Structure 1
């Protein structure tokens, strides 16, 4: 059909005559009536209902496609053959899809030949039914609306099926699947169904994309300091990364005892102390506090709180654990704890947390208190989806990393996930981590927008305790011991934050200060960079 012929197609208010059939946009018949089982019997029987469907809408959309194949372009992004309730309509739409995507014409004549070759023409109603469909012409403008009705009814049928499966699963007592895990499994299925229910996806115009980009630039200019994301609180870190950006997955990896939990705890604590532009209850512009969800799968909530308290009060954590405190220190800790309790740092120490469970908690937190960042300590302690069957732990970790990236995009917040490194770093002379050292990496490196390694040379030098060799003189040993002491003094109190991957910027290494007594990182100022004092 030519473009000129499109003008002859009736407008929506001049639609085709369906006779006794309801119009396509009429409310679908869900079949709420129950059969008559005789006097006095039906009141004791449950109401029988057929799954939601609307065959007339399906016929109207197929008629639009057969009359003008351009109608297919309006629904092809979200409508699939299995979305049709009538199996015959499923087959006809699938045939139209195949013909149109091959550049061929799809109408009653070509479909007749198509189904004759497969021997299914009569099962679909024969030539008469194809002609009848083509006669059900609607405007191409309405094609998208018809497609959305069909897709919505499909989702309702799927939702009914999910509900029945949830009920049946709850009735069954599975030893390996607790009730809470069944809930998480149901949430995962519902989330997938919600993802499939998005019909508004597709291309974004370059102009719209540019508008969002300019908004980010404007935020960076207004915030100052070259920071467009959530500031880490560390001067040189923010200079390199520009803050932590929304929808980014940041992997922070290190060998044990490098201080990765302490580092991410310091970042979280500094972020919740900062504020961001927002609006008050009266609608007036104001500054509102930032909120962080911290999932501590390795440490309990009170242990993590003790670390933060030790760092904020500058009292050694081991003294706090043993209760070796002076009266002044005890009073100071009490005052600091009261001040810290106002910050919006929410800790979840649920073990074996799954991605669906984490997503549910974060959605609820964002709705109730707002959410600016998610921290997971650490990725390898998470579990796969309940009921999932991964062939290997590597594949399971890969699914977890993809799930975390999906959460970052869905909730539009940065996600920092701590990760372990393999022991192969210990076998090298230079023990600084590399991307290949990510443990059970799978797709971690590909999914991550930023990969950060934490390294402290002091840790390794301190363990190189020099001993006198049999063929070594006392002078040679003393010289070697003095060299070791000099190396240790040079590395003391310093840490390296190595940005090995950054999707939006350069890679580099940032030097930080580290105080082990308080498990605290800070900005590093090189003494050699200061001018000498005179007099």
Structure 2
């Protein structure tokens, strides 16, 4: 792989690419065709001919609201002669079952991931061989490459059609045993919305000083007591500031008194009362016992000079139920090229949504 790069036969599988195309063009392969239409990505294809055909299929489907047939593709003036010749290939027929379609996706996804890794390796080596090489730029390439390699959603589509899956999907929903949401602890909101959606992104927006951080911390504290694990990434407060806020919350101690601890005001040293200190120590003991009994975690990470991709990679392995980013405007932008501020923030939100979906966690971004 190192010697041949993306030209390695280990990173491409033309037969599976052809079968995917043939199935998309087969009007009789209902289940397999629908499954591939939903789950195939443009970068699942490596051969320029299959890439060309897939691009046209999706463009026509978007315009006509249904997938084009084999005859339509053969007659399409947009296709090159080489691509049309591939459509006459009889060695790799379309598949008929959803199980076979899943197998095609599995193979093409593994190869796609391999190509992403090789591209990441080449770009990293090129960057590090430059005279003014900056390891931080190489880290960014690696982080984005790993996210791209992992970013694949296998959520099944909902199909209301003669051969669709509405009945099975509805029964699965009715018989669901585990909740798809995490309660926030704010009763009125949870009664209406059920809580935070697993696999989804929630945005909390307010003006500066509007209480976003306090609300996010309260959600995390509430979830912790309910047995969930939470990570709160703060880009504007240090550890002592966040500890003070959390202690004030769980011990019911005035945060102003905690914040002023050790300060001299009008010539007098401000200290917490013995009763306040006792309440905070008891709250600490209660939290430690709770985490031992339930396995729930509440972890706060003060970070600076970081991107959403870096955060996602650092937290991915720790199986959090809730991840909070405080807040989006303080994040460094990933390599966004010519994107304006709005586009860059949109890209941050997209990455957060992908990570929430792939880890089945609830992400909260403050804005």
Q: 1:57 to 1:295 in 2, by over 3 A?
A: same
Q: 1:303 to 1:341 in 2, by over 3 A?
A: farther
Counterpart of 1:407 in structure 2 is 355
| 1:185 to partner: Cα distance | 3.3
* CA distance, structure 2, for counterparts of residue 311 and residue 331 of structure 1: 15
Q: 1:240 to 1:352 in 2, by over 3 A?
A: farther
* CA distance, structure 2, for counterparts of residue 356 and residue 103 of structure 1: 40
- Report if aligned partners of 1:63, 1:137 keep a CA contact under 8 Å in 2: no
Q: 1:400 to 1:157 in 2, by over 3 A?
A: closer
Deviates more, 1:313-322 or 1:299-308: 313-322
- Report if aligned partners of 2:244, 2:259 keep a CA contact under 8 Å in 1: no
Any gaps of 5 or more consecutive residues in structure 1? 1-29, 31-45, 221-227, 275-288, 420-535
Counterpart of 1:391 in structure 2 is 339
Pairs within 5 Å for 1:357-368? 357-366=310-319
Q: 1:211 to 1:383 in 2, by over 3 A?
A: farther
Counterpart of 2:199 in structure 1 is 247
Counterpart of 2:267 in structure 1 is none
What secondary structure sits across from 2:248 in the alignment?
Answer: helix
TM-superposition CA deviations, 1:295-349 (whole Å, max 9, x none): 1111012210111113333252234353513344434434433443454111111
Any gaps of 5 or more consecutive residues in structure 2? 62-66, 160-164, 264-269, 292-296
Counterpart of 1:376 in structure 2 is 325
* CA distance, structure 2, for counterparts of residue 403 and residue 151 of structure 1: 19
- Report if aligned partners of 2:321, 2:361 keep a CA contact under 8 Å in 1: yes
Pairs within 5 Å for 1:9-408? 51-52=8-9, 57=15, 61=19, 70=28, 73=33, 102-103=68-69, 105=71, 124=82, 133-134=89-90, 136=91, 140-141=95-96, 144=101, 149=107, 152-153=110-111, 155-172=113-130, 178-179=135-136, 182-195=138-151, 201-203=156-158, 205-215=165-175, 229-274=181-226, 289-313=227-251, 314-315=253-254, 316-322=257-263, 324-341=271-288, 343=291, 344-366=297-319, 371-385=320-334, 387-408=335-356
What is the root-mean-square deviation of aligned Cα atoms in Å? 4.5
Bigger Rg over Cα: 1
Counterpart of 1:443 in structure 2 is none
| 1:88 to partner: Cα distance | 6.0
- Report if aligned partners of 1:62, 1:93 keep a CA contact under 8 Å in 2: no
* CA distance, structure 2, for counterparts of residue 273 and residue 309 of structure 1: 14
- Report if aligned partners of 2:356, 2:363 keep a CA contact under 8 Å in 1: yes
* CA distance, structure 2, for counterparts of residue 200 and residue 417 of structure 1: 23
Counterpart of 1:454 in structure 2 is none
* CA distance, structure 1, for counterparts of residue 360 and residue 246 of structure 2: 26
Pairs aligned (count): 334
* CA distance, structure 1, for counterparts of residue 203 and residue 218 of structure 2: 16
Q: 1:415 to 1:58 in 2, by over 3 A?
A: closer
Give the TM-score of the pair, scaled to structure 2. Answer: 0.69
What secondary structure sits across from 1:364 in the alignment?
Answer: helix
Q: 1:209 to 1:173 in 2, by over 3 A?
A: farther
- Report if aligned partners of 2:183, 2:195 keep a CA contact under 8 Å in 1: yes
Q: 1:170 to 1:203 in 2, by over 3 A?
A: farther
* CA distance, structure 2, for counterparts of residue 363 and residue 60 of structure 1: 35
What secondary structure sits across from 1:356 in the alignment?
Answer: helix
* CA distance, structure 1, for counterparts of residue 283 and residue 17 of structure 2: 70
* CA distance, structure 2, for counterparts of residue 59 and residue 337 of structure 1: 57
* CA distance, structure 2, for counterparts of residue 125 and residue 254 of structure 1: 52
What secondary structure sits across from 2:71 in the alignment?
Answer: coil
Give the TM-score of the pair, scaled to structure 1. Answer: 0.50
Higher relative helix content? 2
- Report if aligned partners of 2:45, 2:108 keep a CA contact under 8 Å in 1: yes
Q: 1:85 to 1:211 in 2, by over 3 A?
A: same
